[in-house]
Structure 1
Amino acid sequence: MAEPEAIIEELNADEEMAEAGEGIEATEAAGEDNEPTGLEDIEPEIPERTTFLDFLRSPIINLQVGSSTSSTTLHAHQALLSQSPFFAGEFDRLSSAPSSNSKTIALPTDDLQAVASVLEYLYKSDYFPTLDGQTSMQYDPTVPQPDNEGVALLRHARVYTLAQRFGLPELSALAHKKIHLTQSTAKGEIAYARFVYREASPDDEAIRKPVAAFWATRSHVLRHEAEQEFKRMCLEFPQFGFDVLSLVLDAQEKRSQRQEGQSSGTASGRKRQRVSGVIA
């Protein structure tokens, strides 16, 4: 009976050694898995999402629009206004001013309706009249018919210039699109052209060039519907008259080149007419 018992004890010892060996191997393997790889500190950056509730929790800012004698105060949340670099700079100025607890920003020369449209866009990503699809807008009952004063065009033009000054490129693009979707009359177009050449930057070809191109291709409208208004516009803004004339002359020269090319059978350039005779 003693020999079988010794065999059992030896087998148990072997099993314990085998289990110990497996434990060591498992520990070594785990140690290899836990060795630093240099990637521990690299984690995906998840951008923090700003919700509409966050906007509404921000302080209320007063916008005093118009001159001191006839101003109107509008109210908006600071976080929404901060999307504009212009207003963000104003907040920095207010916060750095010593002993100043004012939450008021003065806009003495800006149009009240245009400022309201900018605020409407910041809250709703659009402003009235809103887009109705890609090629039309919501009906605006406040626009007279016919719109000889350019009411609708001027409304969007004012929003465009404000968006440019406030640093809101998406809003300026939206207003520019609405300008091209707006129906008007010849006199209304002249009123719009006058505003553009008075208020828009001379380098802003995105809004100036279409104005000149509109009149350059509509000489019949100038003669029959708005001749006097066009004349006054050219005298008031000579650059407008020059821009229109340049486009008219460019178009005429291209037509002459095509006609000469067709008559000669080649696509030759514009030829200067020779003068016969001898100059004494």
Structure 2
Amino acid sequence: MFKRSFASKDRVTKTVKSAKRSFREDVKMRMQESWDSPLETPLTSPIVTMLVGHEQRLFAAHEDVLSRSPFFEAVLKGQFLEAGPKQVDLPDEEPEIISCVLEFLYKGDYYPRLVHNKRRASWELENAQDIHGTGGRGSSEATIFHSRVGGIILRDTAVYCAAEKYGLEELKRLSLRKQGLQSGIPVDVILRSARYAYDNTPDTDSRLRAHYLALIIRSRKTFKRSGTMQMEMEIGGKLFFDLFVAMSNHIDDLMEMNNRSPKGF
């Protein structure tokens, strides 16, 4: 399931070379190629109401836009306008995450947008706030309070898991790349987010789960000093078995590289 030393084309920390078009334009083109109606097509389909979270926050979206998700397409297929306006109930979802999903469906990205810095030949978040929450426009904080978890987790992880649920592969790719740009995240938030990722992705997922395993390995000095990490490991779970396997593979790779090195160097 996990590649040796996490050498993968999906690795989020990899620097991306200059491209002829922006990431948003690339996503938009892919969406247009895979969907019958391009984003520029006038939206004339019926409005669908959405009740989100335990407070039943009200959202609205065009049926054609929502139907670009296999999940919503299946839900709406069995509803008929003769019986009244179509409605989708999402009591276990977070309003902020649904907002990100809808923004992606309409615009091909969600705030803060991913932009390409041509001078540095790298990707960055548009007007992103720092970890202290200063600067930028609107809310671009890396974390959210998730009511179902009862704690703070990384927002992009929640978006990724929502994209998995709603069958939006491009949104998964986008949210993973954004999460790879975050830094300064506390240990407890990383571990809580990792557990959320494991609880809301299939065992076949080799991107978000591998991202967390690689992150913990790279930050192992910090995690070794963490009492939170010790308590989490005592609880156990598949996350820490996968982490053990990943670290064992990493050590094996290092030993193999050392054995292949010419003697005397």
The alignment's TM-score, normalised by the length of structure 1, stands at: 0.65
Alpha-carbon distance, 1:186 to partner:
4.1
8 Å CA contact 2:65–2:106 kept in 1: the answer is yes
Equivalent in the alignment of 1:199:
200
Distance of 2:202 and 2:124 partners within structure 1: 28
Q: What residue number does 2:164 align with?
A: 164
- The separation in 2 between residues aligned to 1:172 and 1:257, in whole angstroms, is 34
Please list the CA deviations of residues 218-272 of structure 1 after superposition, one character each: whole Å capped at 9, or x if unmatched: 3211123xx2221233234422222222222223334444555669x6xxxxxxx
- 1:26 paired residue number: none
**Does the Cα contact within 8 Å between 1:143 and 1:151 map onto a contact in 2?**
no
The 3 A distance-change label for structure 1 pair 195 and 150 is farther
Does the residue aligned with 2:88 lie in a helix, a strand or coil?
strand
Alignment partner for residue 129 of structure 1, among 84, 107, 112? 112
Please tell me whether the aligned partners of residues 53 and 93 of structure 2 are also in contact (alpha carbons under 8 angstroms): yes
In structure 2, what is the Cα distance between the partners aligned to 1:91 and 1:213?
Answer: 39
Query: Counterpart of 1:172 in structure 2: which amino acid?
Result: K
**Which string of whole-angstrom CA distances, capped at 9 and with x for unpartnered residues, describes residues 31-71 of structure 1?**
xxxxxxxxxxxxxxxx986563532x22111001013xx21
1:81, 1:122 within 8 Å by CA — same for their partners in 2? yes
Matched, 1:66 2:49: no
1:80/1:131 CA distance change after superposition, 3 Å: same
Q: Which residue of 1 aligns with 2:66?
A: 81
> Would you tell me which structure has more strand in proportion to its own residues?
2
| Distance of aligned partners of 1:51 and 1:178 in 2 relative to their CA distance in 1, 3 Å threshold | closer
SS at 1:208 equivalent: helix
Distance 1:143 1:52 in 2: 36
User: Which residue of the other structure, out of 106, 109, 112, is the alignment partner of 2:89?
Assistant: 106
Aligned to 2:143: 151
Query: 1:194 Cα shift?
Result: 2.4
Q: Which amino acid aligns with 2:63?
A: Q
Which structure is higher in helix share? 1
Amino acid at match of 1:251: H
Q: 1:180 is matched with which residue?
A: 180
User: CA 1:142 to 1:135, structure 2 compared with 1: closer, same or farther past 3 Å?
Assistant: closer
The change in CA–CA distance for 1:221 and 1:75 in structure 2 (over 3 A counts) is same
Alignment partner, residue 11 of structure 1: none
Using the alignment, how far apart are the partners of 1:262 and 1:90 within structure 2? Answer: 58
Secondary structure of the equivalent of 1:106? strand
Q: 1:93 to 1:110 in 2, by over 3 A?
A: same
1:54 equivalenced with 2:42 (yes/no): yes
**Residue deviations 1:56-112 (CA, integer Å, cap 9, x gap):** x22111001013xx211101111111111111111211129xx72241111111111
Q: Over residues 9-49 of structure 1, what are the superposed CA-to-partner deviations in whole Å (9 max), with x where a residue is unaligned?
A: xxxxxxxxxxxxxxxxxxxxxxxxxxxxxxxxxxxxxx986
- 1:116-170 alpha-carbon deviations (Å, 9 max, x no partner): 1111111111100101215100234495469xx9617721111111111111111
Divergent runs of 4+, >6 A = none
Instruction: Judge conservation of contact 1:66–1:112 (CA < 8 Å) in 2.
Output: yes
Query: Whose Rg is larger?
Result: 1
Question: RCO greater where, 1 or 2, for CA within 8 Å and sep 6 or more?
Answer: 2
Alignment: residue pair count: 209
* Residue identity (%): 22
The CA deviation string for residues 177-234 of structure 1, in whole angstroms up to 9 with x for no partner, is: 111112233423223222212222222111101211221233211123xx22212332
Provide closer, same or farther for how the CA distance between residues 241 and 102 of structure 1 changes in structure 2, counting only shifts above 3 A: same
Contact 1:82 1:88 (8 Å CA) reproduced: yes
Q: Is the 8 A contact 2:142 2:182 kept in 1?
A: no
Question: Is the contact made by 2:159 and 2:172 (CA closer than 8 Å) also made in structure 1?
Answer: yes
Which segment is superposed worse, 193-202 or 154-163?
193-202
Q: What is the match of residue 272 of structure 1?
A: none
The amino acid across from 1:123 in the alignment is Y
Inter-CA distance 126–260: structure 2 relative to 1 (3 Å threshold) = closer
Name the counterpart of 1:221: 222
Distance of aligned partners of 1:144 and 1:201 in 2 relative to their CA distance in 1, 3 Å threshold: farther
Letter paired with 1:242: F
AA in 2 matched with 1:165 = K
Corresponding residue for residue 211 of structure 2 = 210
Decide whether the 8 Å contact of 1:194 with 1:233 is kept in 2: no
Helix, strand or coil at the partner of 1:136: strand
